Structures are given as C-alpha cells and as structure tokens.
Amino acid sequence: MSHNSFGHLFRVTTWGESHGPALGAVVDGCPPGIRLDTSDIQTDLDRRKPGQSKFVTQRREEDLVEILSGVFEDDRIRESHGGQITTGTPISLMIRNTDQRSKDYGDIRDKFRPGHADFTYNAKYGVRDYRGGGRSSARETAARVAAGAVARKVLNAIVSGGVTIRAALVQMGPHQINRANWDWDQVNENPFFTPDAAAAAFYETYLDGIRKAGSSIGAVIEVVAEGVPAGWGAPIYGKLDQDIASALMSINAVKAVEIGAGFDAASLSGEDNADEIYARQDGTPDFRANHAGGILGGISSGQPIIARFAVKPTSSILTPRKTIDTSGRETEILTKGRHDPCVGIRAVPVGEAMLAIVLADHALRHRGQVG
C-alpha cells in the first residue's frame, strides 16, 4: 500500500507536516556496507533549502538532517571505510522544523485556497492541518531529497562507473531555454538551476517582475540519469518509465510527465521515432538517437534516461481569487506570506531525488530477479 511510501525493495516512507515539530523519511531495504554520513545528504538538502535567493520562499529553515538509525561505526569499520556505514536496517532521517511562524492562519483556516489541496483534504478527511498546507506542503519534499541522497549512494555502490543524476529547469512560463547553450556546469551557478546562462539572465528580470506583482509562474524541469545499465525495469506494471512517471507526478504541483520525445512522439512517424542501432566494437548497441528516453518496453536500454515534468504556478498569489469558506459561503482569498513565485525552481533537486529513488529500487529489483 502506498499512501506515504514509495518503492518496493528500496522503499521510502515519509511523514511530517509543514508546521509540525519535524518531518522525515524512513528508508528501508538499503544494502549494507555503504558509507553514509549526514554530509552526503546535507549537500542535496542545501540545494533545495528555502531562503537562498529572493526567488524562493523566504522561510528560514536550516534543514539539518539527523540520521537516527541504520548506520554504524566502530573501530574496524573506521579503518576499512573511513566512517559510518549502512547496516541493511531501516535508515531513519529527521529534519526539524524551526521557522513555522504559525501564529496567524486565520484566512486559510476558514477558506479554501483555489488551486491548493485545502478543499480536497477537507473533503477526504473532514479535518486538515491548515497551517502552511500541513501534509500537502512542498516542505515534505525535503524528506524526498534526503532519501534521494541515500538512493544515489546505493546506485554508485552497485553500478560500476556510477550513475549520474542531474536535473535542470528548461522552461519558465512560456520561455524555453536554448538547448544549444546547455551547460551542466551552469546549473548551480544561477538561482534557477537552468543550464543556459543566457536564459538565466532573462529569467532574473522576468521572475522579478512576477514576484513583485505578487504573481507566480510555472516551469518545466528535465531530469537525466547517465550510467544506468541496460536491463533495469520490468514488464507491464513495473515499467521503469511508469515508475518514473509515478515518482515525478507525485511531486507537489506537477501536472505532466514525459519520457524521451514525450508528447512530440505523437507527431512523429515510425521512421523518425525508431532510434537506429549501430554496433560498438564490443558488439553493444550504439543508438544514434534517443527518442525513447533510454527506455524500451519499460526496460532501460543503456542510453541516458531522460524525463521532463511540468510544475504549475503556485496558487499562493496576492491577487484575490473567488472561493468558498468551510461553511460553503462564497468569499475571496489572497495568500500573504512567504511563497515561491516559481515553485518549479526548487523542484529541480526533488526531481533528481525521485529519479534516484526509482532507479535504486529497480537496481535491487533487477538484481533480485535476475541476479
């Protein structure tokens, strides 16, 4: 059952609300013997952390992760590994909430914000923790990023040569980057995680206008995994692309996912869409295109795995919107407070984390069935 868990052999369960004392993840099924320190996780968390530029929420959270279980260090391990290692038992990760500012929630307590989960959580449960969105807050994604950092370690431990998973913002509002400018090194050089320096300069002005207007805008993120061997995935209902779609669509505010050519594949002919295969010297396939996004029949082909997902604009804006209150009366609401004018920006490390989790799970599943 998967209300709050994701994955099978590598299984992540998250918990916590935006304004509760803490949030966290339990990572079960991690192979033993992998070096894991908080610093491995903190690096990824810091990329997602709020308050790092004027373009993301000004909530101040250190997002310091604690590892509460599943790792061990003794003298012999220190000698052979240089630090603590995973033991194969569940890894409990916790991040304290420190800046909740929860005193004043009058309006969102009684009114349903359009585009948010307020109405639907209420419809489902009859009660909701309205403070900062409660469980539906994007704050939950900190737990994903922490778990994703563990997944990366697993992949690098299992796959010779390692697996590199990177994401980038490729569209903000209607403005796509110029793919000719793609430079992965740029991604961490601008506050938008975009690989196109020229686009970054443009987004700076563009998003500042949106921010000042109290508005918001959507984005498209691309995630790429390199180094995945051929053969991961499973037929029919355990397809690798299916699980990637599930993983990415589970991120807050995501409304669309595509693999490889994605929606453009609908417009292609069979001739153009078939990624022709040549042989390398060792007889392994040398694909000359990657419309498939690295996945055929739900199973990895050895090519880079490429996925994109669309993040809607946050619904927290300063312009009043029509809505109803919890008594069913018509009213208006505008959302003050600390929010992201383009919530898609912080989805970049989250997308990486979710892809890492899917791949770690499939790495173990493949090894289980096929050896």
Beta bridge partners of residue 24, listed in sequence order: 15, 94
Q: Which of 254, 232, 258 is nearest to 244 (CA)?
A: 258
What is the C-alpha to C-alpha distance for residues 335 and 106, in angstroms, rounded to an integer?
A: 11
Q: Is residue 174 a contact point for its own copies (CB under 8 A)?
A: yes
Site pattern 58..87 for its own copies (x: CB under 8 A): --------x-xxx-x-x--x-------x-x
Whose Cβ is closer to its own copies: residue 185's or residue 328's?
328
Nearer to its own copies, 185 or 337 (CB): 337
| Binding of residue 194 to its own copies (CB under 8 A) | no
- The 8-class DSSP code of residue 232 comes to -
Among 53, 208, 284, 336, binds its own copies (CB under 8 A): 284
Q: Judged by CB under 8 A, does residue 296 bind its own copies?
A: yes
119-148 residues near its own copies, rule: CB under 8 A: 119-121, 123-130, 134-136, 140
Question: Binding to its own copies by residue 266, rule CB under 8 A?
Answer: yes
Q: Does 236 bind its own copies (CB under 8 A)?
A: yes
Alpha-carbon gap, residue 112 to 105, rounded angstroms: 12
Report, in Å, the least distance between residue 327 CB and its own copies. Answer: 7
Q: Cα–Cα distance between 371 and 363 in angstroms, integer?
A: 10
241 lies in the binding site for its own copies (CB under 8 A): yes
Longest dimension (CA), the chain: 71
Q: Compare residues 160 and 185 and give the one whose CB is closer to its own copies.
A: 160
Taking contact as CB under 8 A, which single stretch among the options 179-187, 196-204, 312-320, 345-353 is the one that binds its own copies?
312-320
Nearest of 313, 314, 316, 268 to residue 292 by alpha carbon = 268
Name the one range near its own copies by CB under 8 A: 47-55, 183-191, 196-204, 239-247.
239-247
Integer angstrom CA distances of residue 35 from 149, 198, 261:
12, 39, 37
Structure tokens at 177: 């980057």
Smallest gap, in angstroms, from Cβ of residue 85 to its own copies?
Answer: 6
User: Does 262 help bind its own copies (rule: CB under 8 A)?
Assistant: yes
Query: In whole angstroms, how close is the CB of 182 to its own copies at the nearest point?
Result: 18
Tokens 């997902």 sit on residue: 309
- Report the C-alpha gap between 70 and 183 in whole angstroms: 37
Of 2-10, 35-43, 179-187, 201-209, which segment contacts its own copies by CB under 8 A?
2-10
User: Burial level of 50, CB count in 10 A (0-12/13-18/19+)?
Assistant: buried
Minimum Å gap between C-beta 19 and its own copies is 10
Torsion region of 233: left, alpha or beta (phi above 0 gives left; psi -120 to 50 gives alpha): left
Which tokens sit at 264? 């453009």
Q: Residues 51, 191, 227, 302: which binds its own copies (CB under 8 A)?
A: 302
